[in-house]
Structures are given as structure tokens and as C-alpha cells.
């Protein structure tokens, strides 16, 4: 395990502890894109501690966080954070949320740590070293056809799509509901990536096309190292541009791509 | 707290313990409606212990369980069980599942206990006594318009719908995706009912119309006691017939009903 991975795991645990102790004092600081898109004091607290520790240990590295934005540096290395992924649940006292920490080198994902702290599961992966859940190696599922596949859908900003965008959204949603076994939508992209890595779902798709890299930066590493194939709608990987991202167990990737691109 | 509720909570905890200790020895016993609709040894073990205890304590009561089917008795009281709700997740080692225990008197829901054991949250409710999560009173949200509402969708057997059924499924799915803030689908109806009761989601809808009472029998009590309105598409409550069930926070019920029934 590299020093950076060990460090990322420590950070995730530390942020997790802050969040677990914060239920009683969580408050909404402001709304973002809309009334339901909230930022709480706990998002800020958890992210701040992570940023400070990274700056201390890797002063030249860049950092991209959900709340404090981009912190530039001289290095190609970029830490991508979502210290509290699942704020809407958290703010209601619902224990579905995670800490997500990734290290990328430019457009190449290197390290991913996702801590589903409320259920006690720590997922992590490192380039070319495999993916793990609580130190146990995990692998994508063997399901090789869409008819048996469970598809996870992300739908960031789906209420803000333009007419043409919503037409495509609806068309693809209908195709998926017709040709796959089931679709799922938790509002937790990080969970979905982990579940694909563990064989519980077969695919992730950013249905609205508005996904930001913060939500999947760590999940991409974990899914990939568990055997997933990751591309855009054109079948190519586009690094930090994750609009319409597709992650599958590999075995259904071509069939799913074809479905999504069908006229 | 009534004796029956105390008893149901004990049962849920006991079944939960069996499940938590069963991860290492879970195996698929058989498939049901299709290859992914699995039954494991742990479903059977957890349900069996609950059934035995109910028979011992309330020998005249009827019991309806997911795996062992209906056990008849002289009484109007009916225990409705899903000892392991979320089998697909459980079998993959993913810690999203719950124990669900309900007591109904004919078509009237009396007691509901849902134990989200992996996150340590115990939800319970009793007719006219309010709904609770870990002894803390919970209430539905105040959101009063669909545009800001998060809608949970159930889609049991969506891959088996006939052509006409799927047309309605798709039409309503499009309407919801267009007029609500977001939709969610976890494959865990019990979680959804609890989250509505806690104000995290505003509505539940059985989109495929194939839902069975086992999955929502306890959730109905918890949501109702937290302030939810519960009906079918016609605006009336149909007891154990939960096809196309609609549960909302009450404030958006009419607007949601109108949307679902729109031509």
C-alpha cells in the first residue's frame, strides 16, 4: 500500500469521525443550485480538516473540493474530495452518506477511497493493485447481458435540463427500464461505484449528463480496479470530464453503449 | 408501548443478529421468479426463528412470511414478515437490508417495526401513537409542491410487465422525472417508507403495480404514524392490496395523484 493511499484512508476515517459526531449540531449554511441543494456546517468542517492535512503533507499538490473549490499547486497531482457525499440524507439524520477521497495525476485516476462509515465498510483501490472492501479483494459481477443487469442512474440537476436534454433523458430512461433487469437511483454515486465493484450492480450511467467529477473521482478508481470498464457515450475515457459517464462490469459494456446510443 | 410492539422489536433484533452473523455462510438456496430473484439460507433461517416465536406467543394469530407463506389461525390478527428485505444486496455482502415485521388486524395496520440493522437505526410505530427512530419521534417533511419533492419508485417485476403495463410504467416515469425534483429507487421499499417518515423523501410510488404487502406492511404503519397519507391511484386505501400504492407526506398527495392519473 502506497504512502498516499495510507494517508487517504486516514483522512477518510478522520472526516468520518467528525461526521458521526456531528448529527446533533448539523445546520444548513446555505442552499446552492436550488432549495434542496444544501450545504451544511458539517460539509465544511469535514472538508476543511482534509484540506489542511493535505496542504501540510503535500504542499505542492492541487486540491479540488466540493465546498472550498480548487486550490492550485505546482504538481500534476490533484486530490479530489467530497468530504460529505449524501448531504441531503445526512441533514435529515438518515445514515446514508460517505466520505470520498481520490488522487488523480492529470486525467489519470491513481487512488480512490470511499468510506461508507455508517455501515462500517471502507472501500479503496490503487492503480494496478486491485480494489478492496475492508481488506478483502472485490470484483465486478459476471452477468453478461443487459436483460439480467441492474443499472444505477445518476441524475444531478435533472430538474434543470433544457427541453432537448430532457427528451434524451426520458428516451434513455425508457430504454433502460425496458431492456435492463432493474434500475436503481440512490442519489449516492459513490455507493453505486462501490456496489458495481462488489458485483451488486452491473452499471452506472450519468443519465442527466451533469455529473461532476467530485462525486465519482474515487469511485472510478475502485470500480476500475475491480474490473470495470469506464467510458463516455463514445466508448472512450475522458478523464475528469465525466458527463454521461458509463461504468460497467465490462461484460455488458458494448450492449449498454449500443442501447444508449440507439436512435 | 404495547406488549405486541415490544415483542416485535425483540423479534427484529433477534433476526438482525442472525443476519449480521450470517455473511460468511450465506448461500443461494434457489431462484424464484427469475435468476436474480434469489432466496438464501439466511432468509429462511431469519424467518423461521420469527415464525416460531410468534406461534409460541400468539398461537391463534395468522402469519404471512416471504418464504414460508401463509400460516392460518383463528384470529383476525396477522403478522406480516420480511425477515431479510434486501436479499440481493445481502448475498453480495452489501450492507443495505432490513428486517421488517408488521402486525395488521384484517386490513388495518396496527404495528410496524423496520430494523436497518447495519446502520443501527430501529424504526417503529403503533397505531395512533406516533412513529419513532431510535426512540426519537419522527415526522414527514413540510415540502408542499412536487417540484421540490423527492419521489421513491418501487419497480417489482418491472422486467415482466406486459406491453400495455410497460407503456403506463414509462409514461408515469417520464411524468415524475419531469415534474418532481428527483426520483430515487433503492430496491428497498422498507427503507423508503422510513425515509419518508423521517422527511428525507416526500413520496413512495409502486410504479410497476406488482408490489406485495410483505415489502411495505411495516413501512405503511411507520409512514402513517409520521403523518403520511397512503392511498391507491383512486385516492382510497385498499388495505393489503398495495398495487400502485402511493405514500406521501400528505402535502403533495393531491398534486401527485393528479399527475399519476393524468391522460
pLDDT at position A35 is 87
- ipTM of the complex model: 0.96
CB contact under 8 A, B170 and A185: no
**φ, ψ (nearest 5 deg) of residue B76:** -75, -20
Mutate to test the interface with B, among A179, A183, A195 (most CBs of B within 10 A): A183
CA dist B207 and B226 (Å) reads 23
Q: Within its chain, how far is the Cα of B64 from the centroid?
A: 14
pLDDT at position B254 is 98
Whether A182 and A123 have beta carbons less than 8 Å apart is answered as no
Q: Tell me the pLDDT tens digit for each residue of B103-147.
A: 999 999 999 999 999 999 999 999 999 999 999 999 999 999 999
- Tell me: domain A146-261, CATH 3.40.710.10, correct? no
For residue A8, give the nearest of A97, B194, A16, B206 by alpha carbon: A16
For residue A17, give the nearest of A99, A91, A85 by alpha carbon: A99
What is the maximum span of chain A, computed from C-alpha positions, in angstroms? Answer: 52
- Whether B35 has a pLDDT exceeding 90, the answer reads no
Tell me which residues of chain B, numbers 11 to 70, contact chain A at a CB-CB cutoff of 8 Å.
34-36
Place of cell 420469527: B50
CB contact under 8 A, A170 and B177: yes
Instruction: Name the burial class of residue A42, with classes exposed (0-12), middle (13-18) and buried (19+) by CB atoms within 10 angstroms of its CB.
Output: buried
For residue A67, give the nearest of A43, A89, A91, A98 by alpha carbon: A43
pLDDT at position B34 is 87
Which segment of A58-72, B162-176, B209-223 scores lowest on mean pLDDT?
Answer: A58-72
Whether A193 and A141 have beta carbons less than 8 Å apart is answered as no
CA dist A47 and A40 (Å) reads 11
Q: What is the mean pLDDT of each run of 10 residues along chain A (263 residues)?
A: 97 97 92 89 95 96 90 94 96 96 97 97 98 97 98 94 95 96 97 98 98 96 98 98 98 98 91
pTM of the model: 0.96
Q: Tell me the pLDDT tens digit for each residue of A135-156.
A: 999 999 999 999 999 999 999 9
Nearest to B92 among A120, A184, A198 (CB): A198
Q: Would you state the cell numbers that stand for residue B60, as one nine-digit string?
A: 391463534
CA atoms within 13 A on the CB side of A53: 20
- Cα distances (Å, whole numbers) of residue A69 to A46, A104, A221, B140: 14, 16, 21, 34
Chains A, B: CB contacts within 8 A come to 108
CB contact under 8 A, B94 and A184: no
CB within 8 Å of A38: residues ≥ 6 apart: A28, A29, A30, A31, A32, A87, A88, A91
Q: Would you state the cell numbers that stand for residue A259, as one nine-digit string?
A: 442501447
For residue B5, give the nearest of B145, B169, B131, B167 by alpha carbon: B131
CA dist B153 and A156 (Å) reads 17
CA dist A209 and B169 (Å) reads 23
Tell me the chain A residues in contact with residue B95 when contact means C-beta distances shorter than 8 Å.
116, 119-121
A3-138: what fold?
Fructose-1,6-Bisphosphatase; Chain A, domain 1 (3.30.540)
CA atoms within 13 A on the CB side of A244: 14
Domain boundaries, chain A: 3-138, 146-261
pLDDT at position B179 is 97
Q: Smallest CA–CA separation between B260 and chain A, in Å?
A: 16
For residue B25, the SS3 value is helix
CB contact under 8 A, B119 and A36: no
pLDDT at position B256 is 98
Q: Would you state the cell numbers that stand for residue A146, as one nine-digit string?
A: 443487459
pLDDT at position B33 is 84
Tell me the chain A residues in contact with residue B222 when contact means C-beta distances shorter than 8 Å.
none
CA dist A97 and A119 (Å) reads 10
Q: Tell me the pLDDT tens digit for each residue of A57-91.
A: 999 999 999 888 889 989 999 999 999 999 999 99
Tell me which residues of chain B, numbers 79 to 118, contact chain A at a CB-CB cutoff of 8 Å.
88-89, 92-96, 116, 118
For residue A102, give the nearest of A215, A218, A212, A219 by alpha carbon: A218
**Helices then strands, each counted (H, E), chain B:** 7, 15
Whether A184 and A149 have beta carbons less than 8 Å apart is answered as no
pLDDT at position B65 is 92
A41-45 own/partner pairs: CB under 8 Å, 24+ apart: A42/A18, A42/A84, A42/A90, A43/A67, A43/A83, A43/A84, A43/A87, A44/A68, A45/A18
CB contact under 8 A, B181 and A133: no
The DSSP code for B185 is: B
Whether A132 and A123 have beta carbons less than 8 Å apart is answered as yes
Partners of residue A112 on adjacent β-strands:
A102, A125
Q: Smallest CA–CA separation between A33 and chain B, in Å?
A: 12
Express as a percent the part of chain B with pLDDT over 90.
Answer: 93
- Whether B73 has a pLDDT exceeding 90, the answer reads no
Amino acid at each position: 500500500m502506497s504512502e498516499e493511499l495510507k494517508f487517504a484512508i486516514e483522512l477518510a476515517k478522520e472526516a468520518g469521525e467528525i461526521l458521526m459526531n456531528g448529527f446533533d449540531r448539523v445546520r444548513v449554511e446555505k442552499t446552492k443550485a436550488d432549495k434542496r441543494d444544501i450545504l451544511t456546517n458539517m460539509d465544511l468542517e469535514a472538508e476543511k480538516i482534509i484540506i489542511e492535512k493535505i496542504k501540510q503533507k503535500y504542499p505542492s499538490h492541487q486540491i479540488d473540493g466540493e465546498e472550498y473549490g480548487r486550490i492550485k499547486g505546482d504538481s500534476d497531482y490533484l486530490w479530489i474530495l467530497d468530504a460529505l457525499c449524501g448531504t441531503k440524507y445526512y441533514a435529515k439524520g438518515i445514515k446514508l452518506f460517505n466520505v470520498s477521497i481520490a488522487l488523480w495525476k492529470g486525467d489519470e485516476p491513481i487512488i480512490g477511497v470511499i468510506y461508507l462509515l455508517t455501515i462500517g465498510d471502507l472501500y479503496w483501490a490503487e492503480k494496478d493493485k486491485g480494489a478492496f472492501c475492508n481488506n478483502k479483494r472485490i470484483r465486478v459481477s459476471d452477468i453478461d447481458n443487459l436483460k439480467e443487469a441492474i443499472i444505477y442512474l445518476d441524475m444531478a440537476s435533472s430538474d434543470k435540463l433544457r427541453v432537448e436534454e430532457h427528451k434524451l433523458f426520458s428516451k434513455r430512461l425508457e430504454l433502460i427500464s425496458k431492456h435492463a433487469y432493474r434500475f436503481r437511483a440512490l442519489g449516492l454515486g459513490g455507493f453505486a461505484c462501490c456496489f458495481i465493484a462488489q458485483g451488486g450492480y452491473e452499471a452506472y450511467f450519468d443519465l442527466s449528463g451533469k455529473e461532476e467529477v467530485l462525486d465519482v473521482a474515487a469511485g472510478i478508481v475502485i470500480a476500475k480496479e475491480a474490473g470495470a470498464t469506464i467510458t463516455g457515450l463514445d466508448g472512450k475515457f475522458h478523464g475528469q470530464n465525466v458527463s454521461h459517464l458509463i461504468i460497467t462490469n465490462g461484460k455488458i459494456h458494448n450492449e449498454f453503449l449500443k442501447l444508449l446510443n440507439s436512435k
